[in-house]
């Protein structure tokens, strides 16, 4: 089985490398060429156009930052759907919207292709270690066909229902990630103002009801080290929470705290911290005190 992986960023590159290590023949493509060259050094195959990938691969995967990137790669003039063939399976690991998932799926179906929305959770750490959580919407038959591929990439793999359902689950996850991020950031800034020892505070809270995986991730891997090189950037969390609020509005569900967090993320995105890891919300909240 030939695989293609489009989008070799912080998440996509380690995911694609893991597939190569598992013995698959993998064609990789990235907009900037340095990651593609790194992928080639890891045993992958690069240098192909979208049209060439669409002809060679049986399963085509994407992991892209923005909805417009996903739409262009799949439905653009030289995109995968127009250039591909029947019986291919398309898997999108990006976080977009259920509506875009359904739009791509409808066009793919006209070509006899199956489309699966399969957003992931676990960050670049999970991508490297192959321990991601993967939430998959789409045909159960197609899901069963590609499950061995997904098992290379993740430990917790769920079929969530029809196309778009995987993305709905992921967006709810991202909403809770954003809330935990905001709460942890504000709490730590308050602790700083009170002169508390952060390490002791973390130890206590991590053993109490305030514990969360996001708090542990942000504090241990970024804040305690004063290193905010992005695993997942603040500006991408802003994008995701915007999609959450759009989804909620379509269902006429009011999410007041979501409005607050989205506003904070919008301000943080426009600041010097927008390109840093999402844990840098702590830095942004600290700046607000000045």
Per residue in 20-29, pLDDT (tens digit) is 999 999 999 9
* pLDDT for the residue 216: 97
Sites in the chain below the pLDDT cut of 50: none
- Measure CA of the first residue to CA of the last residue in the chain; give whole Å: 57
Question: Are 76 and 55 contacting, i.e. CB atoms less than 8 angstroms apart?
Answer: no
Per residue in 202-248, pLDDT (tens digit) is 999 999 999 999 999 999 999 999 999 999 999 999 999 999 999 99
* pLDDT for the residue 208: 98
* pLDDT for the residue 270: 98
pTM of the model: 0.94
* pLDDT for the residue 195: 98
The ranges of the chain annotated as CATH 1.10.1040.10 are 168-288
Q: If one looks up domain 168-288 in CATH, what number appears?
A: 1.10.1040.10
170 is catalytic: yes
In angstroms, the CA 12 to CA 171 distance is 19
In angstroms, the CA 128 to CA 12 distance is 9
* pLDDT for the residue 84: 95
Backbone angles phi, psi at 43, to 5 degrees: 110, 0
Active-site position among 170, 235, 239, 269? 170
* pLDDT for the residue 240: 97
In angstroms, the CA 81 to CA 104 distance is 8
In angstroms, the CA 17 to CA 289 distance is 43
Q: If one looks up domain 2-162 in CATH, what number appears?
A: 3.40.50.720
* pLDDT for the residue 114: 98
The ranges of the chain annotated as CATH 3.40.50.720 are 2-162
* pLDDT for the residue 167: 98
* pLDDT for the residue 206: 97
């Amino acid at each position: 089985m030939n695989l293609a992986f489009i989008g070799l960023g912080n998440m996509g590159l380690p995911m694609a490398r893991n597939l190569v290590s598992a013995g698959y023949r993998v064609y990789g493509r990235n907009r900037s060429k340095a990651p593609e060259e790194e992928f080639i050094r890891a045993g992958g195959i690069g240098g192909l156009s979208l049209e060439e990938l669409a002809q060679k691969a049986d399963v085509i995967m994407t992991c892209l930052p923005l909805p417009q990137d996903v739409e262009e790669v799949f439905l653009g003039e030289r995109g995968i759907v127009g250039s591909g063939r029947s019986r291919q399976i398309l898997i999108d690991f990006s976080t977009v919207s259920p509506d875009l998932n359904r739009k791509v799926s409808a066009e793919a179906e006209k070509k006899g292709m199956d489309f699966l929305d399969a957003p992931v959770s676990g960050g670049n750490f999970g991508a490297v270690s192959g321990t991601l959580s993967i939430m998959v919407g789409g045909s159960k038959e197609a899901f069963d066909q590609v499950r061995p591929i997904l098992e290379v990439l993740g430990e917790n793999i769920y079929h969530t229902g029809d196309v778009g359902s995987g993305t709905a689950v992921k967006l709810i996850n991202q909403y809770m990630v954003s809330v935990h991020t905001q709460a942890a950031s504000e709490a730590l800034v308050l602790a700083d103002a009170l002169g508390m020892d952060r390490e002791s505070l973390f130890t206590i809270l991590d053993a109490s009801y305030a514990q969360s995986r996001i708090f542990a991730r942000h504090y241990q891997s970024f804040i305690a080290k004063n290193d905010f090189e992005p695993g997942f950037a603040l500006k991408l969390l802003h994008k995701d929470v915007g999609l959450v609020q759009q989804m909620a509005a379509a269902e006429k569900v009011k999410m007041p705290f979501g409005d607050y967090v989205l506003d904070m993320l919008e301000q943080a995105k426009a600041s010097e911290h927008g390109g840093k890891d999402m844990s840098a919300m702590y830095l942004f909240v600290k700046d607000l005190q000045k």
